[in-house]
Structures are given as C-alpha cells and as structure tokens.
C-alpha cells in the first residue's frame, strides 16, 4: 500500500474553496461588524469602544487573527455558517467570531431582530431581558450597553452602580457585622460599668473600715 502524500498546494486550495463556500452559504450579508451599534455607544456614552464589545477579536471578524474568519478551523467555519442562518431567537448557537455577549444577543433576539435594530440601535437595550447580567456585576447588560461598559468584565462599570450593586449584594453580611459590632460595644460598655461599680464599692468599704 502506497502511503498518502499530501500536496500543500492542494490542501491550501481546499481550504480556500471551503472558505468561499462559507461566504456563499452565509447569504448576501457581508461578514463584518455592524458599526451602527458601535457608533451609538460612543455617541451615547462618550466612551471609546471597539469590536471586542461583541466580537472575539477587537479588530472585528475579518482577518487572519484569533477569532477572525481567516483563522477558523473547518469545524468553526461550519458553525459560522449555521450561526449566520439562525434568524429566530433561541438557537443556542456559539459563533466563533463572536464573544459571549455577541452570541447572547443573537441567541436572545435572533438574527432577524438584531439586523432590524441596526436602524434604531438604542432599542437594543430595551430588547434585552431586564435580568440579563452576563458578568454578574449587578449591572444589567442593557445598562452596560448604554453606558459603554463591557458586559463581560465585572470590574468595568459605572462606579456608583457598581458600589450600589455590591452594597446590595453584601447587605446581609454588612448588617450582621454592624449588629455584632453594636452588640460587642454594648457588652463592653456594661462590662466597664461593672468594673467601675465594683471598684467604687471596694473603695467605699475601705473608707468605712478606716473609720
């Protein structure tokens, strides 16, 4: 049996053909980030944001870097094709060119609704579930979108909102600590009063015995 000899040029050509098939199957919508949302965030919040807000790569999906189309494996390319055709919500997809927030948007809203919101980016915040908080920092993803803070980074958020959320989350522990402190001070005060009373009593007895 002759051993199979792989032709590097043939392999490269096959990969190129597969990539072209991905573009063909993906439909007429080009594979790029949607600047309408980025422009809205920058204008509304005054914070500079890049494609890493929704994409796996900060430079967007086009290119040969990690998280970009030219870097995808065959399996990831197949998943990308599937992701590009999921127009209704609840698809449970994991597009290799999106981060967790980007995938959450498509899974929650569906590709059709997401594309419609390009004409009114502000409504994206209203369309997201009110209890959606991917980084668990206590600030809903909708508010993070409007504020331009990253919904996947717990330390990135409005300082006052982070303080309030952390305070509310830690309130039971804070209340217990305050109660224990007050009880400790109350007990210490009574203990000191007891020592003072005992001391005065001994002094009185000493004076009486001296007379």
Q: Which of 103, 105, 85, 82 is nearest to 94 (CA)?
A: 103
Whether 2 is in a domain gets the answer no
CB 146 within 8 A of CB 139: no
Range with the poorest average pLDDT among 60-64, 79-83, 204-208: 204-208
Give the global pTM.
0.68
Whether 37 is in a domain gets the answer yes
pLDDT digits (tens, 9 = 90+) for 19-40: 444 444 433 344 445 899 999 9
Does 182 or 134 have the greater pLDDT score?
A: 134
Whether pLDDT at 136 is above 90: yes
Torsion of CA 151, 67, 121, 105, to 10 degrees: -60
Whether pLDDT at 16 is above 70: no
User: In percent, how much of the chain has pLDDT > 90?
Assistant: 53
Residue 28 dihedral angles phi and psi, to the nearest 5°: -85, -15
Whether pLDDT at 1 is above 50: no
User: What is the extent of the structural domain holding 165?
Assistant: 158-211
Whether 3 is in a domain gets the answer no
Answer yes or no: do 54 and 133 share one domain: yes
Answer yes or no: do 75 and 163 share one domain: no
Residue 183 pLDDT grade (very low, low, confident, very high; cuts 50, 70, 90): confident
Answer yes or no: do 104 and 14 share one domain: yes
Answer yes or no: do 168 and 75 share one domain: no
Answer yes or no: do 149 and 185 share one domain: no
Whether 4 is in a domain gets the answer no
Whether pLDDT at 193 is above 70: yes
Whether pLDDT at 7 is above 70: no
Answer yes or no: do 94 and 190 share one domain: no
H helices then E strands: how many in the chain? 8, 0
Answer yes or no: do 169 and 151 share one domain: no
Answer yes or no: do 152 and 209 share one domain: no
Answer yes or no: do 108 and 151 share one domain: yes
Please report the pLDDT score of residue 42 as a whole number: 95
Answer yes or no: do 180 and 136 share one domain: no
Average pLDDT (145-154) is: 96
Output Rg (C-alpha) for the chain, integer angstroms.
31
Whether pLDDT at 169 is above 80: no
Please report the pLDDT score of residue 172 as a whole number: 79
Quick one: angle between helices 74-84 and 8-25, nearest 10?
Answer: 10
Average pLDDT (47-55) is: 94
- Report how many domains make up the chain: 2
Whether pLDDT at 119 is above 60: yes
**Which 3 state secondary structure label does DSSP give 171?**
helix
């Amino acid at each position: 049996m002759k051993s199979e000899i792989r032709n590097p040029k043939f392999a490269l050509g096959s990969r190129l053909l597969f990539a072209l098939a991905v573009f063909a199957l993906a439909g007429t919508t080009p594979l790029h980030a949607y600047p309408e949302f980025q422009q809205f965030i920058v204008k509304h919040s005054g914070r500079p944001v890049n494609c890493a807000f929704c994409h796996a790569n900060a430079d967007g999906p086009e290119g040969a870097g990690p998280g970009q189309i030219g870097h995808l494996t065959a399996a990831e390319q197949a998943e990308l094709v599937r992701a590009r055709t999921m127009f209704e919500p609840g698809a449970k997809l994991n597009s290799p060119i999106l981060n967790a927030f980007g995938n959450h948007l498509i899974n929650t809203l569906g590709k059709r609704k997401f594309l419609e919101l390009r004409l009114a980016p502000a409504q994206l915040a209203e369309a997201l579930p009110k209890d959606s908080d991917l980084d668990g920092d206590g600030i809903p993803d909708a508010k993070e979108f409007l504020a331009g803070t990253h919904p996947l980074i717990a330390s990135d958020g409005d300082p006052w909102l982070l303080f309030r959320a952390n305070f509310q989350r830690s309130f039971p522990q804070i209340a217990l600590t305050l109660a224990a402190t007050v009880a400790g001070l109350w007990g210490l005060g009574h203990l000191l009063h007891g020592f003072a009373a005992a001391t005065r009593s001994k002094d009185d007895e000493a004076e009486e015995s001296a007379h």
